[in-house]
Chains A and B, each alone.
Chain A
């Protein structure tokens, strides 16, 4: 295959041999070709497309699935974390951080897939007193064995933090089906 003119920026240039199967970009009359680059969490395999297809993938784990910022620690009951990026996923990690006050050890709560501590229990009731400052982080690996098509998960406090305050909650995992509809 030969491309004439314009390639490489020179008008009226001679024919140019194109090797491989890489991406050729047509930009208002100019043709250019360059390797694909990706920034995490995306990665690219065979970026020049020579000898095989270009493969782009999202690196797992730690792909954001949903979040609840400023979750109220001062009341019992369900705090809803909406899943935003996927309709079918595997949940792998919960991260809590950004606590506005240090929670008392008496604050106990778990994570569930339905309100009122129903559905599957993702995290058994536990305390969160390690969140002593805004910068502290609690990571909770999840072991839920099945794929999930749950639009929400719930942080349900059995006992509220006497001093109130809020905390940010992030859910990470693998996107099996992206949110398209």
Chain B
């Protein structure tokens, strides 16, 4: 039990959280980074593999991070080229070089919050469950869950907004009209897929969801699917698909049914992953190292997460490991699965050179569970589709207090994946892939809580947006630049001995511009 005093406390050793911390340190602050998991770097070092970048929007430490990956082997660029698709080891190396190279930053893992006491609206400290107390002038919540902000009494939303909540304007200017979806439950935009969700007796596959009972455009306490992003290997030294502890064959008989009845939808992988080769030197291929997309686990493995305790989250994560590892182990080894399928799956395995000391469940398994979207703040300005609506003038795409630019396509993974009564097909609801979105600036007000709720807190990850906007904003590089601005503001406030709300935007802007920030579209 100790009291530690710092200038800045960052909650969340995510990639953007580390950017915020490193920036604040660069401006002369002492910084403690409190991370509730045992993993540092969030999804960027936890299996993400793809940078999900927006052209022309990266600057500062975020850009330097991707440039450093590019400068390192096997790419060895000398011209500042950014590499945005990478292996986890490449991301870890760049993180250590760019973000963990300051003695002014202390990272504490396993930091479970107990309380966030305030005097008035001023947060005094972050108290941990082990009794340690971190006192600071400025707090930055850069976690995926927004726990510190919620614990501090900041109004936070979670789940899926209804249309009624913000009355967002819906833009449909693509040929595939469903791409820019309505807020809330949206049966109109759901896809019917030709694969099964029930086994031979009619029981629901455990990675799928119960049929929904929601009204169209209604809110819910559900999030877009969390899941796993794997690093995979086809190299000779690849690790076999691990057998999870406590494995019971009867828990995975359904996988044979899936594989034999098109439930795998033709994929090599029972979780229907898509694999992309990474780690190739420029102009080459054949690294046999891959990153993946897919692996979604909507419903039970997603919806309880945000409001769960830390130990409950670990339990959810462990169940998600048991399910996914067991499915792959069964599919790779059990005689009930056709030999051809097993052979194809066993051509792949987990990497022998990634996630060997930092992993969940088994060596080679990713070190982070992909929490795509949890809380969002209701702050000084809530970004909605009105802020990005294309009225032809572009006027509402720019904010006078911009701290960064987003613009990744509106990307939501399914909220539901449920069986249709025909027993043969599946509905997926909640997926969005609207690519018509232009780049937009993010206002400072959208990372600031209302002053009366928390006057020395910045929330750049669980920022103040609608669900639809967070579907776009939630990309690690975008959060990275917002966090660099947050770290800059914290540094300016601490340096001047004033509150973050009292730093004139022009002063912040001048510093951001001097640091090469991209603030306009």
Binding site for B on A (CB under 8 A): 78, 80, 82, 84, 87, 112-116, 118-120, 148-154, 179-181
Contact = CB atoms under 8 A, between A and B. Distances in A.
A181 B304 CA distance: 8
B201 A119 contact: yes
B240 to A, nearest CB: 30
B418 interface: yes
Most buried by B among A118, A179, A181: A181
Contact of B202 (A87, A150, A181): A150
Contacts of A87: 204, 210
B306 interface: no
Interface in B203-231: 203-204, 209-211, 213, 222
B209 A119 contact: no
Contacts of A113: 201-203
Contacts of A114: 198, 200-202, 423
B101 interface: no
A116 B423 CA distance: 9
B322 to A, nearest CB: 17
Enumerate the 8 nearest inter-chain pairs by beta-carbon distance, A residue then B residue, closest first.
A113-B202, A150-B202, A119-B202, A149-B203, A80-B421, A181-B299, A114-B202, A114-B423
Which of the four size classes fits the interface of chain B? 20 to 34
A180 B203 contact: no
B300 interface: yes
A181 B204 contact: no
A152 B421 contact: yes
Given A179-B210, A181-B222, A181-B299, A150 B421 contact: no
21 contacts: A82-B421, A87-B204, A87-B210, A113-B201, A113-B202, A118-B202, A119-B201, A119-B423, A120-B201, A120-B202, A148-B202, A151-B204, A151-B210, A151-B211, A151-B418, A151-B419, A152-B211, A152-B421, A154-B421, A180-B304, A181-B222
Interface string B370-403: 0000000000000000000000000000000000
B376 to A, nearest CB: 20
Contacts of A112: 202
A150 B418 CA distance: 11
B293 to A, nearest CB: 23
Interface string B406-424: 0000000000001101110
Contacts of B299: 181
B303 interface: yes
A115 B198 CA distance: 11
Given A116-B423, A150-B203, 16 more contacts: A78-B421, A80-B421, A87-B204, A114-B202, A115-B422, A119-B201, A120-B202, A148-B202, A150-B204, A151-B204, A151-B210, A151-B418, A151-B419, A153-B202, A180-B304, A181-B304
